[in-house]
Structure 1
Amino acid sequence: MSESNRRTFLKSVGGTGVALTVAGCLGGGGDGDGSTTTGTTGDGTTGDTTTTEDVTTITPGTASGFPPFEFVNESGDLVGFDIDLLSAVVEQTDGYELGSWEDLEFNQLIVALQNDNIDVVAAAMTINEERDQTIDFTDPYYDANQAVLVREGGSFQPESTDDLADHPVGAQSGTTGKDQMDALVEEGTISSSQANTYENYVLAVQDLANGNIDAVIVDTPVAETFVANRDVVISFTIETGEQYGFGVRENDDELQSALNEGLQAVQDNGTYAELTEEWFASE
């Protein structure tokens, strides 16, 4: 990201410092077979996944509205840490190149992957047992927990999930934050009518700022970005020990291994450190 783009990013969503880790990666790669396959893209149109003798074009999918990992900037471009990281990773693979991005709702990504509408998910997706039963993941590339956002300067400053009792709470559909909110309903801490689900966290934080809900549960790095840009603060953190990974179809071992190899390469050559500095460093 250029310095001018970084300034635009900081102006629109804010930047903040976080801690990141990359696990050790596997080896391997895949070559094309000279064929062309046709599938339906996320917007309902028909698109081609093209394979040449040496290079296979893969379609990446994401869900914008999750800054700084993926979002649409003021110019209408899809940008973010995941976008740049996957691009850099694929550049380091033998036999793969990225096609056009598909921007979907988060809870549509796994279905799109299973239906061959996309070939890889790059959307700050937490590796967990439920998802791992339907898709495969690369090695993890990011660590996170869940943060509880509240209005800055407000009288409501909870210190634990128990303090959320009888308060309206928000989270994005399909996320770990939504799972945490659902657990509050199951435990009886909040009622089902107090659990508010949003298509993306931008809408949730907007509702928080407007006083329509009292708290938002969101991944810590994303929460820190909102803190830098909105009148909200992190009231407390829920330690979930999450790790993000790129998602691929089950048994797509060649692509999985190639991406793992690329992850290791961008860590070794300094690209990963450069991207974290660009997208997460404080202004």
Structure 2
Amino acid sequence: MTPDANIDRRSYLKAVGAVGATGSLAGCTGGDSGSDTDVINPGTAPGFPPFEYTEDGELVGFDVDLAEAAIERAGYEVGEWTEIEFDSLIPSLTQGNIDLIAAAMTIDEERQETIDFTDSYYESDQAVLVREDGELNPESVDDLADQRVGAQSGTTGQDEVEALVDDGTVNADDVRQYDNYTLGVQDLENGNVDALIIDIPVARNFADGRAVSIAFTIETGEVYGMGMRQDDDRLADINDALAEIQEDGTYDELVAEWFE
């Protein structure tokens, strides 16, 4: 199936998801206590383009399209999206306010103590972003010594900044934390921070449209997954749907749409 020029991208993805759905919604079951198990309410943290951000008042991005396609392909209904800060996503999930996190979240052992993840769907490293016309042109983390370095709170980037503080490269007073990277990039352009540590695809997106550039990369070998509660039986269905999406070319179409 190929997109029709007369329908928008989201309508196309919903059509693709509907074709792959197995059984009627009435037959779906899940591990969520007390909620409508036919509906999966996703949550994300906008300000992380091209994965999730707001454009003309609408939530868009790679994660948004992928999550909706996976939910519908698995035979469930996409509920209402919740947009909150990144470090509030896991508490919101465990408290039952959302059912699925789609926010370029790195799978790690600490998070897996609290939530379950789908199979990974994207690989990334970290990038160091600096002002395009700035005096700082670092080539390694050692060159960030005594600089003001920032990251979005709750992210792998923040972990890397904290590691620089722990080894004495960056002073704790020079650390800047942001609710989202859009605010961080604005601070970088305005000269209020000297460098940001951020996921490579997001750094590339900002470098394409803002007065910032990637100085160097930090190999972290991280992978992203969607988060779900540990007692939610629907996880297996979402994993099956993600596998189908990758096998039938839908995933490649989304990558081409958002990253190429």
Q: Normalising TM by the smaller chain, what interval?
A: 0.7 to 0.9
Q: Give the match for residue 132 of structure 1.
A: 112
Q: Give the match for residue 114 of structure 1.
A: 94
Offset at 1:3? 10
Q: Give the match for residue 21 of structure 1.
A: none
Q: 1:50-99 CA distances to partner (integer Å, 9 max, x unpaired)?
A: 34xxxx101101000000000010x20001000000111112113x2210
Q: Give the match for residue 123 of structure 2.
A: 143
Paired residue total: 240
Secondary structure of the corresponding residue to residue 123 of structure 1? strand
Go from structure 1 to structure 2 and tell me whether the alpha carbon gap of 1:121 and 1:3 turns closer, same or farther (over 3 Å shift): farther
Go from structure 1 to structure 2 and tell me whether the alpha carbon gap of 1:209 and 1:270 turns closer, same or farther (over 3 Å shift): same
Q: Give the match for residue 217 of structure 2.
A: 237
What is the RMSD computed on CA atoms of the aligned residues?
2.2
Query: Which whole-Å CA distance do the structure 2 matches of 1:188 and 1:78 have between them?
Result: 39
Go from structure 1 to structure 2 and tell me whether the alpha carbon gap of 1:271 and 1:171 turns closer, same or farther (over 3 Å shift): same
Equivalent residues in 2 for 1:47-196 (5 A)?
49-51=35-37, 56-73=38-55, 75-94=56-75, 96-196=76-176
Q: Which amino acid aligns with 2:257?
A: E
Q: Which amino acid aligns with 2:57?
A: G
2:242 maps to 1:263: yes
Higher relative contact order at CA 8 Å, sep ≥6: structure 1 or structure 2?
1
Q: Give the match for residue 25 of structure 1.
A: none
Instruction: Report sequence identity in percent.
Output: 54
Query: Which whole-Å CA distance do the structure 2 matches of 1:199 and 1:272 have between them?
Result: 29
Q: Which amino acid aligns with 1:67?
A: P
8 A Cα contact 2:40 2:71, kept in partner: no
- Unmatched runs of 5 consecutive residues or more in structure 2: 10-24
Q: Which amino acid aligns with 1:70?
A: E
Offset at 1:154? 2.1
- Unmatched runs of 5 consecutive residues or more in structure 1: 7-28, 38-48
Query: Which whole-Å CA distance do the structure 1 matches of 2:149 and 2:33 have between them?
Result: 47
Secondary structure of the corresponding residue to residue 165 of structure 2? helix
Q: Which amino acid aligns with 2:123?
A: D
Q: TM-score, normalised by structure 1?
A: 0.81
Offset at 1:124? 0.2
Query: Which whole-Å CA distance do the structure 2 matches of 1:255 and 1:50 have between them?
Result: 12
8 A Cα contact 2:29 2:234, kept in partner: no
Q: 1:202-259 CA distances to partner (integer Å, 9 max, x unpaired)?
A: 000110011111100000000000000101110000000010000011132x211111
Q: Give the match for residue 226 of structure 2.
A: 246
Q: Give the match for residue 22 of structure 2.
A: none
Q: Give the match for residue 218 of structure 1.
A: 198
Query: Which whole-Å CA distance do the structure 1 matches of 2:69 and 2:50 have between them?
Result: 17
Q: Give the match for residue 258 of structure 2.
A: 279
Query: Which whole-Å CA distance do the structure 2 matches of 1:109 and 1:143 have between them?
Result: 20
Q: 1:186-206 CA distances to partner (integer Å, 9 max, x unpaired)?
A: 111111110000000000011
Structure 2 residue corresponding to 1:32, chosen from 26, 29, 33: 29
Query: Which whole-Å CA distance do the structure 2 matches of 1:57 and 1:204 have between them?
Result: 35
